[in-house]
A and B are shown apart, each in its own frame.
Chain A
Amino acid sequence: QSALTQPPSASGSPGQSVTISCTGTSSDIGSYKYVSWYQQRPGKAPKLMIYEVSKRPSGVPDRFSGSKSGNTASLTVSGLQAEDEADYHCSSRADSNNVGVAFGGGTKLTVL
């Protein structure tokens, strides 16, 4: 069982916006700005899309945005495109384990 809770699936039509949630506790998301989101296509390695809650690495489209409120972080994908179909994983600095990072179980985003 993952330390952070994500919905198993999300979907939207091309051009729409979709938001994926990631719920933790006061020992992780609630206490730290170190929330990241990763995109993973089938058979591929994860790719960093968002870090420190809302920052985008170079090359990530501004259609991807992140936010946080209390113990819950969110990833919003605006203007959905077919290429956005993938699994999305959240992570956070965490006090709950020795390695200091916890992940969510992942959300499968389907573009209808």
Chain B
Amino acid sequence: EVQLVESGGTLVQPGGSLRFSCAASGFTFKNFWMVWVRQAPGKGLECVASINPDGSETFYVESVKGRFTISRDNAKNLLYLQVNSLRADDTAAYYCATAEWFKSDYWGQGTLLTVSS
């Protein structure tokens, strides 16, 4: 059974940092593109970062470029998202998901980030 389990969400003050983790199992993680998708309260989905199977290519939506870093450890089947210089509009549920041919077959349950003083 494919499983993606995110962790790391919490309450952070503006300007703060944290790292999300996503533990993958039940599939050959090292063969898949992966993405982080966020959903602000009551809003739609937004793909904020993507990474290729070997981790050599990363892409970011403009609003997080320079503040967020996506990475992966294929030996441990782990995906990460380092988020820095956090702003109130980064408040959202953050999901990790597979990304093959511009679709996401598998999603984690999400982890909630709240940015507030």
Contact, CB under 8 Å: B102 / A36:
yes
Chain B residue contacts of A44, Cβ below 8 A: 109
Shortest Cβ distance from B60 into A: residue: A98
Near B by CB (< 8 A), chain A positions 94-112 give 97-106
0/1 per residue, B69-110, Cβ < 8 Å to A?
000000000000000000000000001010101111101111
Q: Is B61 located at the chain interface by the 8 A CB criterion?
A: yes
Bound-complex Cα distance A110 to B25 (A): 34
From A34, A47, A51, A106, B45 is in contact (CB under 8 Å) with A106
Contact, CB under 8 Å: B104 / A48:
yes
0/1 per residue, A37-78, Cβ < 8 Å to B?
010000011111001100001000000000000000000000
Q: Assuming the A-B contacts A34-B102, A36-B102, are A98 and B46 also in contact, with contact meaning beta carbons closer than 8 angstroms in the complex?
A: no
Contact, CB under 8 Å: B107 / A47:
yes
Q: Is B19 located at the chain interface by the 8 A CB criterion?
A: no
From B46, B105, B110, A57 is in contact (CB under 8 Å) with B105
Chain B residue contacts of A48, Cβ below 8 A: 103-105
Contact, CB under 8 Å: B59 / A89:
no
Bound-complex Cα distance A45 to B2 (A): 14
Contact, CB under 8 Å: A36 / B103:
yes
24 contacts between A and B (CB under 8 A): A34-B102, A36-B102, A36-B103, A45-B95, A45-B107, A46-B37, A46-B95, A48-B105, A52-B101, A91-B45, A93-B102, A98-B62, A98-B65, A99-B48, A99-B49, A101-B35, A101-B47, A101-B102, A103-B45, A103-B46, A105-B43, A105-B44, A106-B44, A106-B45
Identify the A interface with B (CB < 8 A): 2, 6, 32, 34, 36, 38, 44-48, 51-52, 57, 89, 91-93, 97-106
